[in-house]
Amino acid sequence: MLVYEYMQNKSLHSFIFDETKSKLLDWQNRFDILLGIARGLLYLHHDSRLRIIHRDLKASNILLDGEMVPKISDFGMARIFRGDQLEARTKRVVGTYGYMSPEYAVDGHFSVKSDVFSFGVVVLEIISGKKNRGFRHSDHELNLLGHAWRLWNEDKCMELVDDSIHNSASAQDIIRCIHVGLLCVQKSFEQRPTMSSVLLMLSSEVVVLPNPQVPGFYIERDPINNNSSDIEKQLCLSDDATITTLLEGR
């Protein structure tokens, strides 16, 4: 039996991806939720007695209480690191495609930077109100990460923003958060910031942010086959699909 604190507002997923509920979250609400998630991960990675890697951070695993304070939930796939351990490798990959870091999904390699990648995806989803998995755009066949990267390079970041928060925040604040989100989803885990750095970048306007590079899983689907590759079909069965075994090539 699992006993949880009662969370009146259910999950972040139920808010940001719902047309009606998402309008109840202005920019300040969303930013406070981002900070709360970042603080939670920082505690797991650095302040807890044992270093904990969540391995399945996603919008549906962020619960919201009556004051919209976020709590990270579902630690069934979490791994505890002891002593000076900083990374590990597994043959059983667990988590949700769309939030998994490239090195984890492909090689089973995970560390605190795997959670950082997942956090970056959540950041971009909170800002855009769109899911990374199943994202569609009329102008291209990119996923949400690719779309955000394309807008960043074209200096059109505000086109990523959910319409319901356009008038509740300054463009500068939102663009800074998009910048941080892109830094978190870098293809190379070595280029991703730690959660302590993420919190500093989100909380301070004077910290100079490095330029982001191409994100991991920068996917462009085949418009002719409508992303019909056999491998991608296996990896993208549903938005919340969780895998427990590393898929082997034929």
Q: Which active-site residues does the annotation give? A: 56
State the sign of the Cα–Cα–Cα–Cα dihedral 21, 148, 158, 140.
Answer: negative
Q: 188: closest CA among 218, 208, 146?
A: 218
Q: Find the helix or strand (DSSP H, E) in which 242 lies.
A: strand 242-243
Backbone angles phi, psi at 180, to 5 degrees: -65, -40
Q: E-strand spans in 48-188?
A: 51-53, 62-64, 70-72, 79-81, 87-89, 95-96, 109-111
* 71 burial via Cβ count (<10 Å: 0-12, 13-18, 19+): middle
C-alpha–C-alpha distance, residues 31 and 14, integer Å: 17
Bridging pattern class, strands 51-53 and 70-72? unpaired
